[in-house]
Amino acid sequence: HFVPNNHAINVLQSHLDSENFMLTKVVNRTDFNAFMETTFIASLYTFRWYNLIEMPILTFKDKMYARKDWSSDFISRLIGIPRIRQLRVKPECEVNELMKPMVPYCTLPWSILNSDNDDYGIRWRQATFQDLQRYFTYWRYTSDSNSSVFSLPGKTGNVYSASGYIADLGTNRENTERILQDLNTWNWLDPHTRVAFVEFTLYNVNNHLFTQITLIVEHLPNGVFLYVQNADSVHIRE
């Protein structure tokens, strides 16, 4: 399935304009947030046809089936909802007092021993009762057995578990834009984030293919960002 897999990955690069950029240009968290809020959304939630006429809104009795946007290739549709999953390291790195004027803070490298699996409140502070009621899902650690994905290797050679902190996005463009803006405001991705996974599934109508796509963005302690794009397809036979 090399061709359909490659095509599915290219969907995220086929809706570029002067304000959007590819994942390969991400060099910091600000760039990653910009990629998600522009290229990612425009690619997965296209609402105009080739001739720029706006797509009709589908109306069903059940609201959950109202308006399912096409991707930018116009032959693939989003199945379920996309999500961002991150793995973090503990905030336990300490800079020597003599070096603090030059190195104000530090973060730990990724390892199983350094991985963070605590539950937090909004903005990674100690959880309050209000946090537990309103925002707790974004700041709650999810184990491997409950994440519904497999372990994957990154470009660094690290094999990352299927666990982490998960933020589900929306079924439509408007909800996804709002969620991404909230995550950005709350600094959900911060210096202690070591790797972020963007996970979603597309259905290719012409070829009857379900494709699971995972974008892996690693953030090293020295500030370097690395990325890997994975796609796995399953053909549905009639």
- Bridge partners (DSSP) listed for residue 194: none
Residue 189 has what pLDDT?
A: 97
Q: What are the start-end ranges of the E strands in the chain?
A: 76-88, 141-142, 152-153, 159-160, 164-168, 193-204, 209-219, 225-235
Mean local confidence (pLDDT), 31-43: 90
The pLDDT-based confidence of 18 (bands split at 50, 70, 90) is very low
- pLDDT, tens digit (0-9, with 9 covering 90-100), for 200-229: 999 988 888 899 999 999 999 988 999 999
Query: What is the domain count for the chain?
Result: 1
Residue 105 has what pLDDT?
A: 80
Residue 9 has what pLDDT?
A: 78
CA distances for 180 relative to 62, 92, 140, 166, 167, angstroms: 25, 28, 17, 13, 9
Q: What percent of the chain has pLDDT over 90?
A: 43
Mean local confidence (pLDDT), 15-27: 70
Residue 103 has what pLDDT?
A: 78
The pLDDT-based confidence of 62 (bands split at 50, 70, 90) is very low
- pLDDT, tens digit (0-9, with 9 covering 90-100), for 178-197: 999 999 999 999 999 999 99
CA distances for 131 relative to 50, 165, 193, angstroms: 44, 15, 20
- pLDDT, tens digit (0-9, with 9 covering 90-100), for 135-144: 668 999 999 8
The pLDDT-based confidence of 64 (bands split at 50, 70, 90) is very low
Residue 66 has what pLDDT?
A: 44
SS3 118: coil
User: Which domain range does residue 80 map to?
Assistant: 1-235
Q: How far apart are CA 48 and CA 66, in angstroms?
A: 16
Mean local confidence (pLDDT), 89-112: 85
